[in-house]
């Protein structure tokens, strides 16, 4: 499911000195290396496939509004709700949306 979503160096760092350190405590360095390459489906090294983490065209950063979302979660209650005035989309338009891209 997450293959290709991150690089093996990030997984290896998590296993050796990050949040997964306790879970990987009984693994050798070689086993941690193997876990990282298996989970990511990629090899360690400078050659990275950037096609899965970047778009062909730069994103349009113009929101078309002066309103700013103040905090993560879209508010202090963490509802993650964005009103139609900010989103530029209302509930009647949702059934007509089409998938433009997806991770494979």
Two structure tokens written together for 4: 């290709």
Distance CA 37, CA 42 (A): 6
Distance CA 32, CA 54 (A): 27
Identify which has the larger pLDDT, 95 or 84: 95
* pLDDT score of 68: 62
* pLDDT score of 1: 41
* pLDDT score of 83: 78
- Residue 51, pLDDT > 60, answer no
Query: For all residues of the chain together, what is the average pLDDT?
Result: 78
Cα–Cα nearest to 24, from 13, 33, 15: 15
Whether the predicted model's global pTM rises above the 0.85 cut: no
Sorted by sequence, the CB contacts under 8 Å of residue 27 that are 6+ apart come out as: 15, 35
> How many C-beta neighbours within 10 Å does residue 49 have?
10
């Amino acid at each position: 499911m997450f293959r290709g979503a991150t690089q093996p160096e990030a997984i290896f760092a998590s296993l050796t000195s990050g949040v997964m350190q306790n879970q990987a405590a009984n693994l050798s360095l070689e086993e941690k290396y193997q876990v990282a390459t298996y989970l990511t489906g990629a090899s360690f090294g400078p050659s990275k496939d950037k096609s899965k983490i970047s778009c062909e065209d730069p994103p349009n950063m113009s929101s078309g509004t002066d309103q700013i979302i103040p905090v993560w979660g879209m508010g202090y209650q963490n509802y993650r709700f964005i009103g139609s005035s900010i989103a530029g989309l209302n509930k009647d338009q949702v059934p007509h949306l089409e998938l433009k891209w997806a991770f494979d």
